[in-house]
Amino acid sequence: MTFDATTQANIDQWLNGPYDAETKTQIQAMIAAGEQTALTDSFYKSLEFGTGGMRGEMGVGCNRMNQYTVGAATQGFANYLNKCLPGQKIKVAIAHDSRNNSPEFTRIAANIFTANGIEVYLFPALRPTPQLSFTVRELGCQAGLVITASHNPKEYNGYKAYWADGSQVVAPHDKNIVAEVNAISTVADIKFEGNDSLLHLLDESIDAAYLTTIKDNCRKPDVIQRQKDLKIVFSPIHGTGITLVPKALDLLGFEAVTVVEEQAIPNGNFPTVVYPNPEEKEAMTLALNTAKAIDADLVIATDPDADRVGAAVKNQHGEWVLLNGNQMASLILYYLLKVTDLKGNEFVAKTIVTTDLIDKMCASKGVTCYNTLTGFKYIAQVIRELEGKEKFIGGGEESYGYLIGDAVRDKDAVASCAMIAELTAYAKDQGKSLFDFLAEMYIENNFYYEGLISLTKKGKAGAEEIKQMMINLRSNVPASVAGSKPVTVLDYEGLISTDLVTGIQTPIAVGRGIEASNVIQLILADGSKVSARPSGTEPKIKFYVSVNAPLASAADFDKTFAALQEKVGVIQKDLGLV
Ligand SMILES: O=P([O-])(O)O[C@H]1O[C@H](COP(=O)(O)O)[C@@H](O)[C@H](O)[C@H]1O
Ligand SMILES: [Mg+2]
C-alpha cells in the first residue's frame, strides 16, 4: 500500500507517537488487512469544524472522532479561551447525547478543561442540545460544548462548540479555535488529567429553568386548556428528547401524550431505525403506527440531540402525511405572525435555502425576514447583532430546525414540540386540523413546494468529486430549466449576484449571517429557485429546488401539489440529478 505524503506522515505519527497501545494495535490491524481506503480516509486530513461543529465517524486516526481528536479540540478550545480572557474565571457548560462513547468523550473534555483551570458545569446525564445553549446563557458561561453528531448515522460522533451568547461558534472564534487546535503538534500537549475541584454537576434546577422558557413561549394557554385532550404521539428516536419533551408538553397542559415505547430508551445503536433522523420517512414509521393505532391528532419525533423535530398529521383524506421542514417552519411562523401583538420592530430569521414563503408572509405583516447561510449559528448571529434593537419572534430552516424566542440560541426541538402541539390545538379549537391550517396558509400566500436531493460522496475521493461538481455548476449555467430561463445567479463563494438578462453584477452584502461560502443559487424567470452546496456536516452535496403556484381553494390541494411535484421533478431531471 502506498499513501500520499500527508496520510503516510500522519499514520507514522500515530504509530510512533505517545498514543495508547490499543490505538496502535488497531492501526496495525488495518495495515495488515490492506485497508487502503479506510486508512486514507482516517488519516488524510484532520477533522474540521463544519456547519454544526466537528463531526466524523468514530475510530482511530486524525480524521476520526476518538479520545485524541476530542482531546486536541478541547485543548485548543481551552487555549483559546485562556488567551481571549486572561486572568478571568472561565466557565464552560457541557452536555452530551445518547450516542455510543458520548459520556466518555464528555468526561475527557471535562477533564481537559479543568486541567486548564476552567470551571466545568456538567450535565450528569444526556440532555438536549438546545438546553446546553440555554445553560451557557443562564449560568453566564463563556463557552459550551455538546458531544453529539446530531442525526448522523450511529457510526458518527461530534463536537458542537458554543460561545458566551449560547450560539455555536462563528467567525472569528471558529477559525481561532481551529488555529489553536492545529497548533497542538503532539498529544503530549493535551492535558488529560482533570482537576475535579473545578467540576460542578448540574442538577434538576436547570431543567426547571429551561422548561420555564418554553412555558413563556406559549401564546394561547386558554386554547390548550380547552384542547388538553389533543392526542399527541411523541418519539425521541432513542435520543435525548425523552428527558424533557414529555415534561414540556405536560407543563403546557397536554394530557394525552403517548410516547413510542420501543424508541423511548436512549440507545446509541438506534436499534429500531436505519438513521436516527426525523427527515427520513423510515425513522417516523413506529411513531406513525402508534398514531394510527390510537387515532392521534399529531405525531412528533426528535433527533438524538433534540434540536430537530419531524411531524406528521392527517390530510384531508384522513391519511397520515409527513410535513417537511419548510412546511413546519412556515406553519410555526404563520401562527406566530398571526397571534403575536406586532409592535413594528420584530424580525424573523431563516436560511437562504429555506422556503421564500416565509419571506412573503413576513412582508405581508411588515416584519423583517433575514436570510442567513445554512447553520443555525448564523440565525443566532443575527439575533446577537440585533439584540436590544429589534425583537426576534422566531426562526427556522428546511432541515427540521426551529426556534421560538431568544432564550435559546440554537434550534430547539423541545420548544418546537411544544409550539407544534400548541398550533395543532389552536387549529383543532377552530374545528380544523393542522393540515387545514397548512392549506389556509397556501391559499393566502401561494403553495410553495420544495424538493431536496442529497448525493452521498464519501471519503477523500468523494470530497474531490463534490468540489468538481460545484466547479462545473459555476461554469455551466443552463440556458433553460423546466422551460424557464435562469434570470439571476447568486454565488456566495465570490459574493456576487449576476443578472443574467442585463449582465450586471452586484455584490452580496456580508453581515447578518452572510459571509463567503460555497453556495450557488439560480433564480428562474417563473420564480422557481435552485440552490446547490456541499453539506458541512456529512459527506454530501445538496440540491434544493423551490417552486410555487397559487392555490385557489382547499379542494385544489391535491391537483396543485401534484403539478408542483412534477415541476420539481422536471427541474431535477434537467439538472441531471435524477
Ligand atoms: O446537523 P444539525 O442538526 O446539528 O444541524 C446543523 O447542520 C444542518 C445541516 O447542515 P449541512 O447542510 O451543512 O449538512 C444545518 O441545517 C443546521 O443549521 C446546523 O445547525
Ligand atoms: Mg440534531
State pLDDT tens for residues 69-84.
999 999 999 999 999 9
C-beta separation of 492 from 517 below 8 A: yes
The CATH number covering residue 95 comes to 3.40.120.10
**Count of structural domains within the chain:** 3
Determine whether the shortest distance from the Cβ of 542 to ligand 1 is under 6 A: yes
pLDDT at residue 185 is higher than 90: no
Identify which of 146, 193, 88, 107 has the alpha carbon closest to the alpha carbon of residue 408: 146
Which of 445, 476, 497 is the C-terminal boundary of a domain?
A: 445
Percentage of the chain lying above the pLDDT 90 cut? 98
Residue 19 counted as domain residue: no
All three cell numbers of 82: 485562556
In a domain, 533, yes or no: yes
Spacing, Cα 306 to ligand 2 middle (Å): 6
Contacts 24+ apart (CB under 8 A), 572-575: 572/451, 572/453, 572/543, 572/545, 574/478, 574/480, 574/481, 574/482, 575/478, 575/481, 575/530, 575/543
CB of 138 closer than 6 angstroms to any ligand 1 atom:
no
Q: What is the secondary structure of 203-239 as a DSSP string? A: -THHHHHHHHHHHHH-S-HHHHHHTTT--EEEE-TTS
* Euclidean distance between CA atoms 95 and 495, whole angstroms: 36
- 458-513 residue pLDDT tens: 999 999 999 999 999 999 999 999 999 999 999 999 999 999 999 999 999 999 99
For ligand 1, atom 8: residue with the closest CA: 375
Q: What is the pLDDT of residues 387-397, one digit of tens each?
A: 999 999 999 99
Beta bridge partner(s), residue 302: 309
Residues 236 and 384 in one domain: yes
Q: Whole-angstrom Cα distance, residue 67 to residue 247?
A: 34
Amino acid 349: pLDDT = 98
Cα of 507 vs centre of ligand 1, distance in Å, is: 26
258 & 337 share domain: yes
- Asked whether residue 349 falls in the same domain as residue 423, the answer is yes
Q: Which amino acid is at 335?
A: Y
Task: Dump pLDDT digits (tens) for 206-240.
Answer: 999 999 999 999 999 999 999 999 999 999 999 99
Q: Looking at the domain assignment, is residue 16 inside a domain?
A: no
Q: Give yes or no for residue 401 CB within 6 A of ligand 1.
A: yes
Q: What pLDDT is attached to residue 479?
A: 92
pLDDT at 386 over 90: yes
325 lies in some domain: yes
Indicate whether 266 and 414 sit together in one domain: yes
Ligand 1 binding pocket includes 150 (Cβ within 6 Å) = yes
ipTM score: 0.96
534 lines ligand 1 (CB under 6 A): no
Interatomic CA distance for residues 405 and 397, integer angstroms: 15
Pocket probe mutation, ligand 1, options 350, 373, 399, max atoms within 8 Å of Cβ = 399
Catalytic pick among 46, 150, 517, 535: 150
- Asked about 150 being catalytic, the answer comes back as yes
Please indicate, yes or no, whether residues 383 and 464 belong to a single structural domain of this protein.
Answer: no
pLDDT(162) > 90: yes
- The rounded Å distance from CA 283 to ligand 2 centre is 14
Amino acid residing at 32: A
**CA dist 86 → 72, 92, 439 (Å):** 21, 15, 56
Tell me, yes or no, whether 364 and 476 share the same domain: no
Q: Are residues 229 and 371 in the same domain?
A: yes
In terms of domains, do 195 and 258 share one?
A: no
Asked whether residue 305 falls in the same domain as residue 363, the answer is yes
CA dihedral 256, 261, 266, 269 (to 10 degrees): -140
Same domain, 137 and 105: yes
Question: Is the pLDDT confidence value at 52 over 90?
Answer: no
**pLDDT value for 49:** 86
Confidence bin at 551 (pLDDT 50/70/90): very high
The last residue of one of the domains, among 445, 477, 502, is 445
Query: Are the CB atoms for 536 and 345 separated by under 8 Å?
Result: no
Sheet hosting strand 391-397, strand order edge to edge: 368-372, 346-351, 391-397, 401-404
Q: What is the dihedral sign for C-alpha 336, 341, 344, 345?
A: negative
Phi and psi of 53, rounded to 5°?
A: 85, -155
* Residue 134 lies inside a defined structural domain of this protein: yes
CATH of the domain at 525: 3.30.310
Check whether residue 351 and residue 435 sit in a common domain. Answer: yes
Task: State the residue for C-alpha cell 398514531.
Answer: 291
CA nearest ligand 1 atom 6, residue: 52
Distance CA 404, CA 385 (A): 17
Check whether residue 441 and residue 506 sit in a common domain.
no
Q: What is the spatial distance between Cα 83 and Cα 348, in angstroms, rounded to a whole number?
A: 35
Residue pair 266/201 in contact (Cβ under 8 Å)? The answer is no
Q: Residue 5: inside a domain, yes or no?
A: no
Determine how β-strand 298-302 pairs with β-strand 53-57. Answer: unpaired
Average pLDDT of the chain is: 97
Distances (CA, A) of 296 to 256, 280, 289, 405, 416: 9, 21, 10, 28, 18
What's residue 50's pLDDT? 86
Residue 395 DSSP one-character state: E
Judge whether 139 and 95 are in contact, CB under 8 Å: no
Q: Tell me: the pLDDT tens digits for 320-343?
A: 999 999 999 999 999 999 999 999
Ligand nearest to the CA of 158: 1
| 2 is a domain residue | no
Each residue's pLDDT tens digit, 100-140: 999 999 999 999 999 999 999 999 999 999 999 999 999 99
Nearest to 378 by CA among 386, 368, 366, 390: 386
pLDDT of residue 60: 98
The residue from 201, 235, 260 where one domain ends is 201
pTM score, whole prediction: 0.97
**What is the span of the domain harbouring residue 150?**
45-201
The answer to whether residue 535 is domain-embedded is yes
